[in-house]
Structures are given as structure tokens and as C-alpha cells.
Amino acid sequence: MADASDRPATLREEGDGRGWWAVVGRLAAALLVLGLIYVGAAFYFKDRPPSGVSVAGVDIGSLTDQEARAELGREFEDRTTEPIVVELVPEGDGGAGSEAEPVEVELVPEDAGLSLDLDRTLRGVTGLSFNPARMWDHVAGADEDLPLYGAVDPAALEATLSRLAEDYDTTPVEGEVSLSEDGVQVVDAQDGRTLEVGASADAVSEAWTEQVWDDRSATEGERRVAGVASGQRPQLTAEEVERFTEEVVTPALDAPVVVQAGRGRGEGRERAEAQLARRDLLQLLRVEQEDGSLSLGVREKATLARIRQDLGRLERGPRDATVRLEGSSVQVVGAQVGYALREDGLVDAVRAALPERGDGRTVEAEVETIEPQIPTSVSENWSFTQMASFSSQFPTGESNAARTANLRAGVTNVNGTVVMPGEQFSLGAALGAIEEANGYVEAPVIVDGRLVMGLGGGLSQISTVVFNVSWFAGVQLDAHTTHSFYISRYPAGREATLAVPVIDNLWTNDTSTPIVVQSWISGDEIQMVFLGDRQYAVETIDGPRRNTTTGERREDDRADCVPQSPADGFTIRNIRILRQGGEEVGRDDFTTTYDAADEIICTNPRAGS
């Protein structure tokens, strides 16, 4: 059994343990109460900024979050409704830099997608927090001014700036200077400009988000943002237009440019001048542009033509020594020098005089002496004798009156034709245009092997005479065409037809002396002589007729029928031999085949009427 003296001690120990636990319990209860109070306070203050807190100078301390937002909305309402000024100064190709005047455009924030970002602004000062420092701020108060932040809708902002760009953007205007008879016309150059929407939106967004105006202590009406704009300069600038008109055009038109010239020597010298007045220069000059630079050009052909209006009387063409037929004799006509305005360098001299003054605007032009190709000295060696002659009889009478009229007109036109050494004679050219104005009428001509009426009928007989004279004169035979059927009044094989301009009769003067054609009608004969210096003796061989054919007898009842006599067809060879000093130096060999000509009997009573 236990000692009784031990029990009180045990009871004391048990009593002491219960006391400590009571203390701990009381402490725990107190801490729990304090914790509950702390948590309760945190929940109480979670929607309230600490006292002494402000946003951009607006006190929101101890207000609920909703009250704070309402207060900020009221205080900063003008931030979203009052315009922001976007200042634009073009940069880049416009080259304006500081010289360009800034342009201001305005946007209303609430219409441009700009609003107040109160969530970000109040972040950290409201909301549930158990931070003791934060709780202390609520109890003791805080001296803190928070920045105001903005929110941006990028799409809405860019849309607004794009609308502003429609009014701001301009296209560069090219400068222009032109000359006309009315004077100098100038179009002033203008720089272009473009509002860079993306870059400007970035600048506005940055300024709005940070509300940079608060840092600048901005007053009402001073909210500005430096926008971004680019400039485009025209290729031809206003500065270049001004330089060109003042330094180049004005002096060029200030006074006439005088062009002087003279010809001849001594007392016989003749002078003239051309004054290119302002009205002339306005039409003769032109504005040229290259790589943005202007210069003054001169219209070369027009300038030379204008100068010749006054100086042209000093010019004349040279005249070669030649001959003319006077009656039956040949007269030599001496050569004459010519004068021509020297064009090389003349327009350049006029151009060089444009910026000058006084005597510097006078240009001395040169008049060149042009020597004739055939001087008079050459004509001193010319001698003229009969080289060859030929005559051909033609039918006369009333029925051949029209044909005879054509022969007389043709012989008159050919008479006196001069063919210089090396030149080619054309019978078609010598006869002139085959028309009534030149004396030609309708008479029978051969078409498709039979006679029909045609203007200039009968001129083939002159062609035959020309061919035979050139044959016997020994000149170079170039082209001739025989008739399709043989006409008995002509030498067989040595005859030629004519159908201008298809068929011509051509020969060349291959001597060193002019040849003069003398032709006339004597009775019923065409007479023709070549006067010149004959070079060769001519031998003619006319071969026999061979391969003879016979035509038919045909009746024609048409009113335009022309009667025709029959003629046999045949082939013949004709040879011309040229001799000099008894030796053969040339030969022409022709073979001609004639068709048989039908006998045409006209049965219509009106035929030939």
C-alpha cells in the first residue's frame, strides 16, 4: 500500500499542468480573435484604397472600388471627350525638315478607341491583401499618387487616323515651265505629304497609355502628340522652276538676238540681218527637262527657217555652164557661183547669245560660196556639130488631123531639150504631161493589137524618130519598146512606141559635151537633129524578115470601131556597130518579133463619127 505522504505531491503536479494549459488556451483564443479581426479587416479594406491614395492628383482614399472608379470617371471625363492634337511635320523625300510648317489634326479619344484603363490604374491598391504593410496603410493612411493609365483599341485608332489622312494627304504637283506665243507659262511645284497611319497610331497609343501629359503638368488645350508623316518632293521642284525662270528664261527673252551676214566682196558686198524678237524666241525655244533639272533648247529647223526669212535673199543656187538653142544655133550660157548660209554652228551661236546682253546678242553668220559643178572654163572646150539626123513622114488629111495636132505639140515640147554629159534623156519627160492643157488630143493608139482612141495618139512616131537619131548619133541606148505589130512607115525593127508612164524611150549622153535636141515639122515630115560632139562612126545592119505570119479579116459593128489595115507579122534582127578610128568599140544587137495585124472592117455607120 502506498505511503500517504506521497499523494499530496501528485495532486500538486497534476494541478500545475492544468494551469499551463489554461494559459496556452487563453493565448490561443486571443490570437484567434486577433486573426479573425485581421482577416475581417482585410476583407473590409479589399475594395477600398488606403486613405491618402490619389490618382493623378484625384483623392480616392477610403472609397470603395466602385466609388473610386466613379470618382475617377467624373474627374477625368474630359480626358476622353476633349480632342488630342496630333502634330504632323513631313519627313523623308519631302526634304522639308524644320523648314516645313507643322500641320495639326485633332482626334476625340472616345471616338478613336481611346479610353481610361482603371483596372491597371487601381491594380495593387484594391483587392484582398493580408500584407501587414498594406493593412498598416489602411490604418495609418498612405501618401501615394498613382499614375492614370489609358487603354487603346488599335483597330479603332487606325481607322480614325485613316479618315484624318484623307484630308491631310496630298499628291505632289510637278512644276512646269512652257513657252508659247502667249508668253511664259509656269506651274508652281508643290510637295506631297502622307500621314503614316501605323507609325502615328503607335505614337498616339504610347502617349495615351502612359497619359504623358500628367508628367508635363499640361493645362487644358495642350495635349499634343507628335505624329509621323512622310513627304514626297516632285521631280521638278519649285526651287528649280524659280531658278530656271529667273536665271535662264528671263535673260534669254530680254532682247532680240540679231543674226547678221553678208556675201560678196568690196563695193558689191551685200548684207542682211535677221532679228529674232521676243515673239520669235517664244516659238523657237523649248524647255527641256532631265533628272529634275531644266534647260533651254533651240528648235533647230524652225530657227534656221526663221533666219532664212530675212537672210535668204543672200542665198542662190549655183548654175552650171549649159547651152540653149537659139533658132538653129547653140549658145553657151556661162556658169554662175551660188551662195548658201552656213548652217553648221549657227544654231549653237544663237543659243550661246541667249544669256548675253548688248553686243553679245549679235551673231555673225557665214555665207559660203558654192562653186558650180560645171564651170564656165569647161564650156570653153565644147563644140557643136550635127551628130545625126532623122526624118519620118506622117499621114495627113482630115482623118489624121487629131494625130497631126499631137505630133506638132510633141515636137514643139521636145525641141531645145538639152542633155548634159552623163544625163539620161526621157522622152516622156520632154513631152510633158499628156493632157489637153499641153495641146494633146485623142487619136488612134494601139491597145492589145488593135487601134482604139486614146489621148496623145500618134506620139509613138516621135518616139521612133528619137530612137533613130540616138541610134545614128552613137549615144548609149537605155530603153525602148517596139510596136506589137509592124507599121510600114517605120524602119523595121528600128522603131519605138510610147505609153507614158509605163513605156518610155531612154538614152544617155555618154559624151563630154552637152547634146541639144532640135526638132521641127516640115510639111508632112518630122525632122530631128542632135547637136553635139559625135564620138563614134555608126554602122547599121538590118537583117532580113523571117518567120512571116498573116492576120485575119474581121468585122466590128461597135460605134467606137477604128478601121485597121492588115500587116504581116515577122521577125527581124538589127545590129548597131560603133567604130572609133576604124576599130569596133561597141555593138548593140536587137531581135524583134511583130505580131500579124488583123484587117478590121467597121460596119457600124456611126464608127469614126
* 408 grid coordinates: 506638132
d(CA 28, CA 146) in angstroms, rounded, equals: 40
Q: Do the strands 270-276 and 257-263 form a parallel or antiparallel pair, or are they unpaired?
A: antiparallel
Q: Exposed/middle/buried for 589, CB within 10 Å: 0-12, 13-18, 19+?
A: exposed
d(CA 330, CA 390) in angstroms, rounded, equals: 19
- Is the dihedral angle over the CA atoms 125, 130, 134, 136 positive or is it negative? positive
Residue 120 CB neighbour total at 10 angstroms: 14
How would residue 310 be classed by pLDDT, with cut points 50, 70 and 90?
very high
* 68 grid coordinates: 473610386
* Element spanning 295, H or E: strand 293-298
**pLDDT of res. 1:** 44
d(CA 118, CA 69) in angstroms, rounded, equals: 7
Tens digit of each residue's pLDDT (9 = 90 or more) over 199-241: 999 999 998 988 867 754 444 446 899 999 998 888 888 899 9
Spell 10-47 as b/e; 16+ CB within 10 A means b: eeeeeeeeeeeeeeeeeeeeeeeeeeeeeeeebeebbe
Q: What's the first-to-final CA gap in the chain, in angstroms? A: 196
Q: Exposed/middle/buried for 234, CB within 10 Å: 0-12, 13-18, 19+?
A: buried
Contact present, 425 and 419 (Cβ < 8 Å): yes
37, pLDDT greater than 60: no
d(CA 557, CA 600) in angstroms, rounded, equals: 10
Q: Is 325 helix (H, G, I), strand (E, B) or coil?
A: strand
- The answer to which of 228-237, 413-422, 598-607 has the lowest mean pLDDT is 598-607
d(CA 556, CA 562) in angstroms, rounded, equals: 9
Q: Is 56 helix (H, G, I), strand (E, B) or coil?
A: coil
**pLDDT of res. 33:** 58
d(CA 66, CA 442) in angstroms, rounded, equals: 122
Q: Is 173 helix (H, G, I), strand (E, B) or coil?
A: strand
* Amino acid residing at 85: V
127, pLDDT greater than 90: no
581, pLDDT greater than 60: yes
How would residue 287 be classed by pLDDT, with cut points 50, 70 and 90?
very high
Contact present, 473 and 578 (Cβ < 8 Å): no
Tens digit of each residue's pLDDT (9 = 90 or more) over 40-92: 444 444 455 676 788 888 888 778 888 888 988 898 888 889 999 999 999 86
**pLDDT of res. 41:** 45
**pLDDT of res. 144:** 79
* 146 grid coordinates: 498613382
d(CA 521, CA 525) in angstroms, rounded, equals: 6
Q: Is 582 helix (H, G, I), strand (E, B) or coil?
A: coil
Angle value at C-alpha 499, between 494 and 501, nearest 5 degrees: 125
* 529 grid coordinates: 537633129
**pLDDT of res. 216:** 47
Contact present, 287 and 178 (Cβ < 8 Å): yes
* Amino acid residing at 212: V
d(CA 494, CA 458) in angstroms, rounded, equals: 17
SS3 of the chain: helix, strand, coil, percent, to 5 = 35, 35, 35
Spell 140-163 as b/e; 16+ CB within 10 A means b: eebeeebebbbbbeeebbbebbee
d(CA 49, CA 71) in angstroms, rounded, equals: 13
Nearest CA among 323, 377, 319, 374 for reference residue 533:
323
Average pLDDT rounded to a whole number, residues 108-113: 91
How would residue 592 be classed by pLDDT, with cut points 50, 70 and 90?
very high
Average pLDDT rounded to a whole number, residues 312-320: 93
Residue 192 vs residue 100, higher pLDDT: 192
- The answer to which of 38-47, 136-145, 161-170, 408-417 has the lowest mean pLDDT is 38-47
Q: Exposed/middle/buried for 185, CB within 10 Å: 0-12, 13-18, 19+?
A: exposed
**pLDDT of res. 215:** 55
Average pLDDT rounded to a whole number, residues 370-376: 93
**How much is the pTM?**
0.58
**Residue 90's beta-bridge partner residues?**
229
d(CA 477, CA 463) in angstroms, rounded, equals: 13
Q: Do the strands 362-364 and 257-263 form a parallel or antiparallel pair, or are they unpaired?
A: parallel
**pLDDT of res. 193:** 93
* Amino acid residing at 447: V
Average pLDDT rounded to a whole number, residues 117-145: 64
Average pLDDT rounded to a whole number, residues 546-573: 88
Integer angstrom CA distances of residue 418 from 157, 323, 330, 426, 530 = 95, 7, 10, 11, 10
Residue 578 CB neighbour total at 10 angstroms: 18
d(CA 442, CA 439) in angstroms, rounded, equals: 10
Neighbouring residues of 9: CB distance < 8 A, sequence distance ≥ 6: none
Contact present, 551 and 594 (Cβ < 8 Å): no
Q: Angle, to 10 degrees, between the axis of helix 197-210 and the axis of helix 154-168? A: 130
Nearest CA among 398, 506, 385 for reference residue 443:
398
Q: Do the strands 224-226 and 84-88 form a parallel or antiparallel pair, or are they unpaired?
A: parallel
d(CA 601, CA 556) in angstroms, rounded, equals: 6
d(CA 198, CA 154) in angstroms, rounded, equals: 10
**pLDDT of res. 42:** 46
- Report residue 337: phi and psi, to 5°: -70, 160
Round the average pLDDT of the chain to a whole number and report it: 86
Nearest CA among 473, 474, 493 for reference residue 482:
493
135, pLDDT greater than 70: no
Q: Angle, to 10 degrees, between the axis of helix 300-311 and the axis of helix 346-353? A: 100
Nearest CA among 446, 461, 458 for reference residue 405:
458
d(CA 136, CA 37) in angstroms, rounded, equals: 14
- Report residue 574: phi and psi, to 5°: -125, 135
